[in-house]
Amino acid sequence: MQCEMSFEVEQQDPGCAARAGRLKLAHGVVETPIFMPVGTQASVKALSQEDLRGIGAQIILGNAYHLYLRPGTETLEAAGGIHGFMGWDRPVLTDSGGFQVFSLSDLNKVRPEGVEFRSHLDGSRHFFTPEKAVDVQISIGSDIMMCFDECTSYPATRDMAGKSMRMTVDWAAKCKAQWIAREASSQALFGIVQGSVYEDLRQECAAALVDIDFPGYAIGGVSVGESKEEMVAAVEYTTPCLPVDKPRYLMGVGAPEDMLEAIERGVDMFDCVMPTRNARNGALFTSQGRVNIKNAKYARDFGPLDPSCTCPVCTTYTRAYLSHLYRAGEILALRLNTLHNLSFMLQLAADSRAAIQQGRFREFKKAFLAKYFS
């Protein structure tokens, strides 16, 4: 079976591992580096699909575990997949539910064959296997499916991390076999590198996954409590183990500065709930650093949120108005804040791409960080 996805590195930055690429998926082309907004339940919280198109989102995430529980695969299949269901015609990447093995660990039990979940919605029991995770994602019809993995918690002893990683590799092989058996060639399948903060485990995992051979590779199990230094180190020693001609995706990252560190080390794709969640909680990203719009000092600040941002929020509203909307608990606060934070991350990825194409990513990054942390 030949996967229909294709990836091309268009420009390699001469000063670092950063690269600009072009990822062709069933529902369109994604220009990398790219930030992918998270829409766990077939919805990027607070935004409509029109909003997402308006700010130039190229690809969004969905989550197999959550969509399996609700609305369920039968509904998604009847709708002809997630694209038609939610009215989004651009690419979608689905996480397999591997993260929920970590985040809902109190509600599940991990076994070598799979994970027994107790639904966080109604307590009902569900058994997720690698094969089932692929089946669910085929029902969803995402452009990129993720292997079912165990997102290793932190801290983990070397022994624990090794066992967890080897199980993830075993599951990856099963996911790949199921993907081939189902002949889902229009959907790509990415393997996920685990191994916690242990260099040799990360390298062993990457090698094993490359041996299985996937259309793309992800680095998972980061930003789960380890230090930023450890996270960056994990990226630094893992990316060289991944094929240069395949897309690399750093799962769950991140903050603006984290994304830049990873781009510099050769990562192409990112997703993170931070811009959307922080937006709903009043923390906004700007070129001059984080703005906590709840702070009293913004109540009568009639300037734009970020003077150098061209998003619809910054060109229309003032900090004072955003402050008021947040305090008043207005639903519009969630929407405008989310619109801005996502615009900011999408723009940061686009600017990074432009800098790489000019061969000056490191200068770009340095200038951004100097302003951001001033």
Partner RNA sequence: GGUGGAUUGCCCGAGUGGCUAAAGGGGACGGGCUGUAAACCCGUUGGCUAGCGCCUACGUUGGUUCGAAUCCAACAUCCACCA
Residues catalogued as catalytic: 95, 271
CA distances (Å), 235 to each of 173, 260, 285, in order?
23, 12, 24
327 binds RNA (CB under 7 A): yes
Position 207 contacts RNA (CB under 7 A): no
CB closer to RNA, 178 vs 276: 276
Interacting residues with RNA between 1 and 30 (CB under 7 A)? none
Q: Which of 26, 283, 320, 369 touches RNA by CB under 7 A?
A: 283
Under the criterion CB under 7 A, does residue 149 sit at the interface with RNA? yes
Residue with tokens 């008043």: 328
- Give the per-residue contact string, 83-122, with RNA (x = CB under 7 A; - = no): ------------xx-xxx-xxx-xx------------x--
Residue among 131, 204, 264, 271 that touches RNA (CB under 7 A): 271
Backbone angles phi and psi of 168, in degrees to 5? -60, -40
Q: Which is nearer to RNA, 192 or 363 (CB)?
A: 192
Place of tokens 């001059």: 288
Binds RNA (CB under 7 A): choice among 76, 115, 156, 253? 253
Query: Binding to RNA by residue 264, rule CB under 7 A?
Result: no
* 268 lies in the site for RNA, by CB under 7 A: no
Contact status: 44 vs RNA (CB under 7 A): yes
How many residues bind RNA (CB under 7 A)? The answer is: 57
Which residues of the shown chain bind RNA in the complex (CB under 7 A)?
38, 40, 44-45, 61, 63, 66, 95-96, 98-100, 102-104, 106-107, 120, 146, 149, 151, 192, 218, 220-224, 228, 251-255, 258, 271-274, 276-278, 280-283, 290, 292, 294-297, 299, 327, 329, 331, 334
